[in-house]
Amino acid sequence: MTQQPLPSTAPLDGTLYRYYFVGHGAQFRVYSVYTLDDKPTGRVIKVPLDFEETKSSIIAPLKLVAQYNTEEELDELADKRTREVMQFKHDMPNLMQGIMGEDKTFMSKLGNMKVLQAPIPAPVKSGPSAYYLPIFFTQDYVMTLDAYLQHFRLATISYTRDLDLRTIKMLKQVIRQMIALNFLIWEYGIFEFVFKPENLGIRFSKHGTVELIWMDLAEHITDLEKAEKIIGEKRWLHPLMPHKIDYQFMPTVLHDYYTTACSRAFTVDNLRKHWRKRCIRAESKYARELKMKELLSYSHKQSVTHWVNRHNLSVTLYRGFQKHTIDDMDIPIADLELLLRDRHRANPPENSFREEQIERHLARSKPLVRLLFPLPTHENNRQKANNS
């Protein structure tokens, strides 16, 4: 993992660790975890937002898209949306159970996410035996894909950025990996339905290769029929739409390659091809094993049990935690309480946002087609070099 710069916000000093706030979404506040001597642990902790925090994080984008007549109506819509968003968070442990948790490659693509549930004593007024039971997650600390892509803002103007061949190759690889990450989760019967590049993280190897991971997979469904409908909506184009302010506007230089690659990849045919592929493989494998046991059983009782187990694989294979999916950082309860109390944090400022706004503005004011510059190919670059 690439060493991340120390975040610029004031840290929270815990008992064993120091926590730097790095940002929040609609579900979690994220803190990078350092030792008390400011050495990075390479992990972040995701602290669940409570109802009020969630509501305040969804209200601004909701205002822009919701139809309402009065503030009360908006408030009601916000409450409903907040409950939906909070529910996604409760489904997250399902991503780490059974065969998914057992698949270390898959878990690595989820940033080695681990679950941490701890009973936190409630305030005294709730009674002496009252607890909250929030679910925290820890995960590898990686750069957000969004932050990485900021480096390619206005790259269509050669005076602002110059893309070398290696970078172009890497960017293409990034887009291919974005697609591959979606295919991977489809193979476990999971469909991420927002297609936000912000939900992905990126890490770099010593050899300069990149690896994309899912940083936030909370907004997912497991219903193929619904997934097919969403595919029809082509939501992956939202990051290219300047009016979609709930998405980071994708650097214009990527638009053409991204659109072509995604439109070719995100089809109903491909969805069906990949859907539950790994689940079916695992179910068949265990079914074969149980069938053998069933046939070789001496007693009727054992034979029936194996048969019932075989027919319940679609349920039982997706349950249970593996050791490596349970957090092992030994974060003390007092630290967790401290993190829970650290509410109402605003996202830290990012310097590159101005260029994002400029690109979005340019896309708004000019016909989109003129902005769809192709990601420079090898030939483009050679031509450019000759010209200069």
Binding segment (CB under 8 A) for other proteins, from list 80-88, 149-157, 224-232, 321-329 = 321-329
Q: Which is nearer to other proteins, 125 or 206 (CB)?
A: 125
Q: Which is nearer to other proteins, 56 or 94 (CB)?
A: 94
| Least distance from other proteins to the Cβ atom of residue 306, Å | 8
Q: Give whole-number Cα distances, 50 to 47, 127, 342, 347, in Å.
A: 9, 20, 11, 17
- Using CB under 8 A, pick the residue from 8, 117, 158, 352 that binds other proteins: 117
Cα–Cα distance, 178 to 202 (Å, whole number): 10
| Cα-based torsion angle of the residue sequence 99, 271, 255, 62 in order, rounded to the nearest 10 degrees | -80
The reply on whether position 315 binds other proteins by CB under 8 A is yes
SS3 332: coil
SS3 content of the chain, % helix, strand, coil (to 5): 50, 15, 35
| Least distance from other proteins to the Cβ atom of residue 199, Å | 23
Long-range contacts of 18-23 (CB under 8 A, 24+ apart): 19/45, 19/335, 19/338, 19/339, 21/342, 21/345, 21/348, 22/348, 23/144, 23/347, 23/348
The reply on whether position 41 binds other proteins by CB under 8 A is no
Binding segment (CB under 8 A) for other proteins, from list 23-31, 178-186, 295-303, 357-365 = 295-303
Q: Which is nearer to other proteins, 86 or 237 (CB)?
A: 86
What kind and span of H or E run contains 34?
A: strand 28-35
Q: Which is nearer to other proteins, 213 or 336 (CB)?
A: 336
Binding segment (CB under 8 A) for other proteins, from list 56-64, 143-151, 236-244, 305-313 = 305-313
The reply on whether position 94 binds other proteins by CB under 8 A is yes
Q: Which is nearer to other proteins, 23 or 98 (CB)?
A: 98
Cα–Cα distance, 60 to 255 (Å, whole number): 27
The reply on whether position 93 binds other proteins by CB under 8 A is yes
Per-residue contact flags (x/-) with other proteins for residues 261 to 290, judged by CB under 8 A: -------------------------x---x
Q: Which is nearer to other proteins, 327 or 359 (CB)?
A: 327
Cβ burial of 114 (10 Å; 0-12, 13-18, 19+) is buried
- Using CB under 8 A, pick the residue from 5, 127, 349, 367 that binds other proteins: 127
The reply on whether position 88 binds other proteins by CB under 8 A is no
Residues 6+ apart with CB under 8 A from 339: 12, 14, 19, 29, 31, 45, 47, 136
Q: Which is nearer to other proteins, 287 or 338 (CB)?
A: 287
Binding segment (CB under 8 A) for other proteins, from list 5-13, 50-58, 61-69, 110-118 = 110-118
Binding segment (CB under 8 A) for other proteins, from list 41-49, 124-132, 247-255, 370-378 = 124-132
The reply on whether position 300 binds other proteins by CB under 8 A is yes
Instruction: Concatenate the DSSP letters of all residues of 190-247 into one string.
Output: -EE-S--GGGEEEEE-TTS-EEEEES---SEE--HHHHHHHHHHTGGGGGG-TT-TTS
- Tell me, what DSSP letter sits at residue 321? B
The reply on whether position 320 binds other proteins by CB under 8 A is yes
- Report the sign of the C-alpha dihedral through residues 257, 263, 266, 270, in that order: negative
Side-chain-facing half-sphere of 345: CA atoms under 13 Å:
27
- For residue 106 the two structure tokens come to 């898959």
Cα–Cα distance, 372 to 388 (Å, whole number): 23
| Cα-based torsion angle of the residue sequence 301, 307, 312, 317 in order, rounded to the nearest 10 degrees | 100
The reply on whether position 317 binds other proteins by CB under 8 A is yes
The reply on whether position 129 binds other proteins by CB under 8 A is yes
Side-chain-facing half-sphere of 139: CA atoms under 13 Å:
28
- Using CB under 8 A, pick the residue from 16, 268, 326, 368 that binds other proteins: 326
Binding segment (CB under 8 A) for other proteins, from list 69-77, 221-229, 302-310, 360-368 = 302-310
| Least distance from other proteins to the Cβ atom of residue 185, Å | 19
The reply on whether position 327 binds other proteins by CB under 8 A is yes
Contacts with other proteins, residue ranges (CB under 8 A)? 93-94, 97-98, 102, 115-119, 127, 129-130, 135, 286, 290, 299-305, 307-309, 311-317, 319-323, 326-328
